[in-house]
């Protein structure tokens, strides 16, 4: 597995509204097994979006392979453009191989507040 961690700053709107749009238009399409026209690529194992306060969000996306992660870069840009109304700006990124992974079955339950 390979991880892509991104940090974003919102310019306008609420985090709740942004998360609803992300879930409806993109996150709900994860795991379909094929690249999606909305920009969601095949090969995503999991996706989490974390409200870190002060209009910032951190996303953690795990991919099956490093190649799947690299293919996702353009899809992420397309998604960011589709969220233009929130003026989302990427302010930091980290990538790398996942060295240890454990999860409880509750991880498989979608969360949307």
- Do 43 and 88 form a contact (C-beta atoms < 8 A)? no
Q: How far apart are CA 99 and CA 62, in angstroms?
A: 12
pTM: 0.83
Q: How far apart are CA 66 and CA 71, in angstroms?
A: 9
- Do 14 and 79 form a contact (C-beta atoms < 8 A)? no
Domain region containing 52: 2-97
For residue 24, the model assigns a pLDDT of: 86
CATH number at residue 80: 3.30.70.100
In a domain, 108, yes or no: no
For residue 80, the model assigns a pLDDT of: 80
In a domain, 104, yes or no: no
Task: State pLDDT tens for residues 64-113.
Answer: 999 988 888 777 777 888 889 999 999 999 999 999 988 887 777 777 76
For residue 33, the model assigns a pLDDT of: 61
In a domain, 112, yes or no: no
In a domain, 113, yes or no: no
In a domain, 85, yes or no: yes
Task: State pLDDT tens for residues 3-56.
Answer: 999 999 999 999 999 999 988 888 877 776 666 666 677 888 889 999 999 999
Mean pLDDT of the chain: 86
In a domain, 111, yes or no: no
Number of domains in the chain: 1
In a domain, 50, yes or no: yes
In a domain, 87, yes or no: yes
Which runs of consecutive H residues, i.e. helices, occur in the chain?
Answer: 15-25, 66-82
């Amino acid at each position: 597995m390979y991880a892509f961690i991104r940090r974003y700053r919102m310019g306008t709107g609420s985090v709740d509204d942004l998360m609803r749009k992300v879930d409806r238009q993109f996150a709900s399409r994860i795991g379909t097994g094929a690249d999606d026209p909305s920009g969601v690529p095949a090969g995503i194992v999991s996706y989490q979006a974390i409200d870190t306060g002060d209009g910032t969000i951190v996303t953690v996306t795990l991919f099956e392979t490093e190649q799947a992660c690299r293919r996702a870069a353009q899809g992420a840009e397309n998604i960011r453009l589709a969220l233009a109304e929130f003026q989302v700006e990427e302010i930091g990124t980290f990538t790398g191989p996942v060295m240890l992974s454990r999860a409880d079955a509750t991880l498989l339950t979608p969360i949307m507040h």
